[in-house]
Amino acid sequence: MEAFLHYLWLHQRYEQLIPTGALAGARIEVLDPGELNLHAGPDFFAARIRIDQLLWVGCVEIHHAASEWFAHGHHADPAYSSVILHVVEVDNRQVAGLNGEELPTCLILVPRTQPEEQAALVEQLYSSSSAAALLDLSAEERSSLLLCLYRARMQSKVQACAQLLERASGGWGQCFWAQLLRYFGGTLNSEAMERLAFALPLHLLQKHSDRLDQVEALLLGQAGLIEVLPEGAYRTQLAEEYHFLRHKYELRALGAGTFRRARTRPANLPERRLLQVAALLTHRDFLGDRCLRARTRRALHELFTLPAAEAEVEGQPARAAITSSLCDLLIINVVLPYQVLYAQRQEGLRGAAPDLELLRSIPAEDNRVTRLYRAAGLELRDALESQAILQLEHYREEQERGLKG
């Protein structure tokens, strides 16, 4: 649980630091753990560390295992050239900086024999009593731990977005298109939606953005979902439009059964979600660019909010409205990771912080996990804290799976 290691480092609640490699046997003293970095780059800035008699000032990077330095691509990233200390739980690989020299490394020992309240915190964060462990912290410590957890969650979202950017060959518009479709696919159909995003690239859809019926035909046709619509004039119209466009662009539809529809609420059926996406594309051109410029919850809501539409043609499903709560989820899960990744790649290290003010303006999410924590007495004030709780629950479930395995 890397976020918890960040918390232990920040508050110096680890049991011991043990220098390894070239530092083996050295005396290490942390004078200042530094500032938690909510930007791209190393985990902590401006740390002050005395190794033997020499004072080092710079960045600290923390991993569960030393090999993650390479897995995360830090060995080729100039942003990590200022790292003065690599802190790990498992020293399983020698790490070198960009200059080829061995990176100073030390092991961090998670408290096992500390006073009862500290040991209990470690144990409870991996148990069903996570809420109780958080409540036992002071307000300041709880806030810093939630920030660590949120940062870990954002990093995983940004990493997923970066993979889409790579698949899109660096095309930011196509990256956003894939990111948006994945989210509209939900848990069941996110992978299918990603396949659709690349089987029907954004630049092709934009050629027809002035014709809602053609955008709907392309989306539903490529998804293999026209046949699931009720019989009637609407289905016939879409089938004819898609037949023409498929031959024009030499398209190949996804296979039948790519999308899962069983045990899905009507509003979440993939064909309904694609109708919402079609409406967005025809009402909001260059949506990805607009999302980069929009920095407030209100501005982003204006981009995404569309009223529900009644069926106008026989057999046409009514399009569900994009509600305020769905807009908030789109900001959290689609827009912010995209904004952060863009800032990292285009604006440099210091431009890459997620907009905490924007997150603080969004109410905490209401779902199964957040309701459990609220029931245990933990107040969640905003989306940053609810995202942190979801990350903690993710870690806890991973731990449970590991124990069962």
192-204 confidence digits (pLDDT tens): 999 999 999 999 9
Residue linked to tokens 């996804």: 254
Supply the DSSP symbol for 102.
B
pLDDT per residue as tens digits for the range 267-291? 889 999 999 999 999 988 889 999 9
The CA distance from 33 to 52, in Å, is 17
User: Within 13 A of 10's CA, how many CA atoms are on the CB side?
Assistant: 22
pLDDT value at position 351? 47
The CA distance from 278 to 222, in Å, is 13
pLDDT value at position 137? 82
Among left, alpha and beta (phi > 0; psi -120 to 50; other), residue 114 is: beta
pLDDT value at position 114? 46
The CA distance from 308 to 357, in Å, is 30
- DSSP string spanning 322-367? --HHHHHHHIIIIIHHHHHHHIIIII-GGG----HHHHHTSPPP-S
pLDDT value at position 234? 94
Write out residues in the chain with pLDDT < 70, as ranges.
1, 112-129, 347-354, 399-405
The CA distance from 65 to 109, in Å, is 13
pLDDT value at position 115? 43
* CB contact at 8 A, 5 and 149: no
pLDDT value at position 118? 46
Supply the DSSP symbol for 185.
H
Antiparallel, parallel or unpaired: β 28-32 and 83-90: unpaired
Supply the DSSP symbol for 392.
H
pLDDT value at position 312? 80
Phi, psi (5° rounding) for residue 85? Answer: -150, 130
pLDDT per residue as tens digits for the range 177-197? 999 999 999 999 999 999 999
pLDDT per residue as tens digits for the range 92-134? 999 988 888 899 999 998 876 444 444 455 555 655 567 777 8
pLDDT value at position 22? 86
Supply the DSSP symbol for 345.
I
pLDDT value at position 396? 76
Tokens read off for 63: 């991993």
Tokens read off for 343: 């800032």
